[in-house]
Structure 1
Amino acid sequence: MNKRKKFSLLVLPGDGIGPEVMREALRVVEWVGQYAGVEFAINLGTVGGAAIDAYGTPIQDETIEEAKQVDAVLFGAVGGPRWEKLDFSLRPEIAILRLRRDLSLFANLRPVTVFDPLIETSTIKPEVIRNLDLVIVRECMGGLYFGEPRGIETMPDGQTRGFNTETYSTNEIERVARVAFDLARRRRRIVCSVEKANVTESGLVWRQVISKLHEREFEDIELRHMYADNCAMQLVRNPKQFDVIVTGNIFGDILSDLASMLTGSLGMLPSATIGSSTGDSFRPALYEPIHGSAPDIAGKGIANPMAQILSVAMMLRLSLDLEKEAELVEQACIQSLARGARTADLALAGEPALTTTEMGDAVLRELESLIT
């Protein structure tokens, strides 16, 4: 067990269903603290639309500074229709972009695992997804989301033009590729690098840099290259061919959402956004579900908290060195599903659906059963 007895967490529930699923995740954090005999010093912060309403900005500088000091950040979800007409610089999503940039969190890890109890909830044939276990490593500090120049301008003829720039440098590509190769060494030793080298210069540089890095440092890993459009097709056609996928910001965003539906619900997938490691752990680091704020169901108490709870498991493993506790949380989630616990997004026709709180209750019951 980790020798440390106290960890500091910054919790940013955000908007929409964010606070609802975060409440269940924090119940799990509390359970882990009691079980492991560690103290979690938790500070709650405000981001996204809630921060815009309270402070006029998606995230305060004070929140960024606090995030730099804690052991880990737990993030919910941000955004919603009420803030969609704001200037881009004031949109709720700027909160997560600033956290990634200012904390130098350049690699987003998105595991895609199909749990046996949920095979029937997926729209893909069971034989295609059974035992699926892959990870998408998304570069998240460069590419189209951060490249310059960018903006909106009025052209001489009166038309409006929006423009963004896709850029990647050697260092940006190598550091995220190393994360992918290192991860593959602990898995099936296969990395698939995804880009559009056939039509973009940035994609061509991406392929060349990763190929050279592979030759220099990672020849023990099998490296494959694939165009992004083909990768999207292959994820649906034959997803088990993949072990670790590494790709740029926009393709990682799109492909991971596509891959999430292989599991049956967007509400099941956690993620970790990391930078350089400190010893064997990542600090600072940010953990969040990949789903959005789902304003259409916010406040109804029906959101699936599993992705947020599984993000806690990733935090325990990657930032806090609490491997045993991480495995317990993951196993409790699987067992609760095996016993029929389902929120509305997972329930088949005619099956009863649990509330968000009831799903949290189910996970906590399984945690207790695992240690007795």
Structure 2
Amino acid sequence: MHGFGRYLAAALAARFASEGMGMAVVLLALERTGSAAYGAYVLTAWLAPHVLAAPLAGAAAARARRPRLFYVATLAGFTTAVAALAVLLGRAPVPVVIAVAVLGGGCGPMVTGGLSSLVAGLVPPGARRDRAYGWDASTYNAAAVTAPAVVSLVAALASAAPAMAVLAASGALAATLAASLPYEDPGAAPLYRQPGAGLGAGLAALWRVRELRAITSATTLAFVGIGSLTTTSVLLAAGLGSPGAGGVLMTAFAVGALTGSLTLGRITAVEPGRLARWGMAGTGVALAAAALSPSLAVTAVLFAAAGVCDGPLLTATLRIRSEYAPDAVRTQVFTLGAGLKLTAASAGAALVGLTADAPAQALLGGIAALQLAAALLHALAAARRPVEAATEPSAASATTPVGPRTPGGP
């Protein structure tokens, strides 16, 4: 596990910066222009490039002659965009600000799936790698818990600009740590220089490999609901007589997700597909119960329970991508999967905006239904057909090599 500790630190620092951007951009826009809508437009420009940049970033990372330089450069570009927005937002012409946001957002896939794809080169296959993905998943959840809180605190004590400066500093730390990681396995072929993988190869793998198709389709559907959860929690809290307590519900969900990734997510004895289905189904049941809750306290407990179930889903997803992604398109599979989920979440946020006049309990019930539907979709998509099952061993050995080739390894 050479360098894995430094990897976790780099991933946490990068994802802290990414998770804090949503709140920081809106607060800064409100502070300088008086318009939260302007911040929402900038945030949209930040998020929109993710799915488009994902295959480009994955293919470029796979073909990079110097992968260390590529990863450090993309993290540095991400950081520079955060710092530039801290200076320009509300001061420079709108097209300039939007352009900076688009460029920074284009580096986003490397902060999420791109970094996660490095785990396979740092930890040998088996139970240790499965546990490593549990730790990697926990960096997402830890960032989701801490980043909004830190941004809010710094903005309250000083202003939103210093809050964005904190995010930029965290991104710079991530780039520095990424420069110290090992990117090649001595005695084996370079891990990330894989010739011949075109831009469509990762998407083709997501469709052709049954396990990848199942987890990608299911999590994309689930994230349509998760993307609308923040807005719905605000409406739900207001309906329960506690305006402004939506943040409490989302914090409970995030803390639960962190707990779930550090506990249930580390269960390596359970097949990851089954763990993913249990996670989505459990999240759906807990959110359905929360939709019927009569008080904020009970709702917060149920949101935390939903988070605990959601926590191991990311771990299971990372394990499936690592195990079944062909080596030549591993990074593309990771970046595309992350990009599709983020796009689905953005679509969910837009949908709930269009239906915000509906009762909050009904909206939350719809989110719960999407989680249950995603669990069912995964079960159906992952089911082995008789003909496929009969030919599975040869197909798997031909198309889904697992992990880097280490001396004496498989």
Flag whether TM exceeds 0.5 (same fold).
no
Write 1 or 2 for the structure with the bigger share of helix: 2
Q: TM-score, normalised by structure 1?
A: 0.29
Higher relative contact order (CA 8 A, sep 6+): 2
Write 1 or 2 for the structure with the bigger share of strand: 1
